[in-house]
Structure 1
Amino acid sequence: MSTHRALSLYRSTQSTSEEDRVKQHAALVRKIAYHMMSRLPASVEVDDLIQVGLMGLMEAARNFDEEAGVQFETFASQRIRGAMLDELRNADWLPRQARKNMREIERAIVLLEQQLGRAPLESEVAKALNVAIEDYQIMLGDARGHQLLHYEDLDLDGDNDQLDIYAADHDANPVDILSDESFRGHLIEAIALLPEREKLLMALYYDEELNLKEIGAVLGVSESRVCQLHSQAVARLRAKLTDWLA
């Protein structure tokens, strides 16, 4: 269903105030979809995210309570993300081989940091893995969607999908870990130790909420290279936080 058709259907059945909210915040759906893409496998189409996100926006407009003391944009953002994640819960979030590769990369980074006393270069990680630098970068690109926190980090049933931990109706949520002051302190320290370019990338993505294309323009690299650097930064952070994520 196209965005135009979905909006037309919505307008024919909903009140004017709800319709106005959807029209005013339609751009929010695209913003969230593009921002989410670096956390998803390359097989995920951004247009699919936009479609389900639009449905989430419609639901938010329909259920919003003005007396709840929450701004509509905040309420809608949660519903939009929830709709996108619900749609993805049955998808192959990250291929098994890509997960295996990233675990090996994390282990190599831990060992190299212990040996070198600093963050290892890409070439050094590739050498430790006994692969060419080009193959190492392909491994990083294939791991697009690799997360700082995984289902297995929370010691949950391994049969469940990683995306479940991000759904609003589940008790186990990485936000609970991230809100822990001690963990946050260690995370901040780990980010401070990232190589400068990766540190800037994380700031642009998580603080400034730029999308991959925008970050690539700032760094002077391609979108695919941004994905590689993001995967590597996450691997470095996980290597630093092994006591929390083990």
Structure 2
Amino acid sequence: MIIVEKQQNRYITLQKTLSKQEFYILIEKYQKTHDPIVKEELLVGNMRLVLSLMKRFYQKSKHYEDLFQVGMIGLIKAIDNFDTSYQLQFSTYAVPLILGEMKRYLREESQVKISRTVKDLSYAILKEKEKYLVEKQREPTIEELVSNLQIDQHSIIEAIQSTQSVASFQEIIGHDDQNELHLIDMIPLDKETLKHYHQHLDLKKAMTCLNPREQKVIQERYYKGYSQCEIAKELFVSQAQVSRIEKNALEKLHKKLV
């Protein structure tokens, strides 16, 4: 069955998306023979996955054809390295690889300048994720990235965030009756809301002055609602020690914010 789908004012001819059983039959045949015709069947049968992921970036890149091509590179990597022994749905494995290629392309295309150090780290993280996907058929957690790359958590998160494409306030995100709905329409601009945003950003920045244990106590006390006794059990300390840690942390935050 052939499906014709309209994308960006043009039409793309697709085969019906392969079922899990159909895909497994073809992938096992390809991995045994490396037949390019079978590989082509797998690519065409999963092309809709690439197109569906591209919808996330419609307003973020003018180079639609290039984005499609890099998405197909991710799909090729997924087909070449998929391990059938895990009995996973192919999309579970392929999506992170396809998105990784698209985000890498958008990062290089972006007008926002990112330092070479952060770029190098984000590339190392991407390669580690790809390696992890091949070996364990899943993406590594932040903690596993920290352990494997021997990089602190803050730097890991910063590098991952740098790969996120920048959104314009004028980006169209939907329609309301006959009118286009832009991102800026969804952001409240009243003084109280902006004040709340600024306070949140100030507090987030101030939290960096705390040591890891103090940060944990503050987060669990004021964001997760844990009692001092519950935190004490988790940290293997007394409730009195948790109380002192919390008091010291609050004093530090007060000085920083004032």
The TM-score, its normalising length taken from structure 1, stands at 0.40
Higher relative contact order (CA 8 A, sep 6+): 1
TM-score, length-scaled by structure 2: 0.38
Question: In proportion to residue count, which structure has more helix?
Answer: 1
